[in-house]
Amino acid sequence: MLWLQHFASGWDKWEEKAETTPCSGYTPYAQSPSDGAWHGRAFGSQEVTAEKFRCVSVMGFTKTLVPDLLGRRSVLVEHLEVVMHDNFGGLDYWSVSESSLYMATSHLDL
């Protein structure tokens, strides 16, 4: 499980990087002393258990995370909003945005 966060020190120059760092604030996960697994609530509601958990400070685009994700059977990534979309503002980005808006307005009572 990856918990994404901004670098605590901020940044003075832009560079794409991702580093395992101490968690800079509250996370809803705790390691069980009995089995060593991490337990908590994903997105505030669904109970999740993971063998591994780490906080990753990120500055960059979504592709910055590829090395952390390759070769894994499954991974939960929280706070994906920390990374920037690789195609922000492109045709695919706006198509998805329009589709999401359509789904929200047609299926929810807004």
pLDDT, position 5 = 92
Helix H, strand E, coil C: the string for the chain is CEEEECCCCCCCCCCCEEEECCCCCCCCEEECCCCCCEEEEECCCEEEEECCCEEEEEECEHHHHHHHHCCCCCCCEECHHHCECCCCCCHHHHHHHHHHHHHHHHHCCC
Give CA–CA dist 83/60, Å, rounded.
6
Mean pLDDT of 78-82: 82
For 14-69, the pLDDT digits (tens) are 888 899 999 998 899 999 999 999 999 887 778 899 999 999 999 988 888 888 78
- 63-93 as b/e: b if 16+ CB within 10 A: ebbeebeeeeeeeebbeeebbeeeeeeeeee
Task: Answer yes or no: are the C-beta atoms of 37 and 87 closer than 8 Å.
Answer: no
Low-confidence winner among 29-38, 47-56, 77-86, 95-104 (lowest mean pLDDT): 95-104
**Residue 16: which domain range?**
2-107
Residue 103, pLDDT score: 47
- What pLDDT score was predicted for residue 108? 47
CATH number at residue 76: 3.40.50.11340
pLDDT at 45: 75
The one-letter amino acid code at 30 reads A
Q: Is residue 110 scored above 80 in pLDDT? A: no
What pLDDT, on a 0 to 100 scale, did the predictor assign at position 109? 46
When divided into structural domains, the chain yields a total of 1
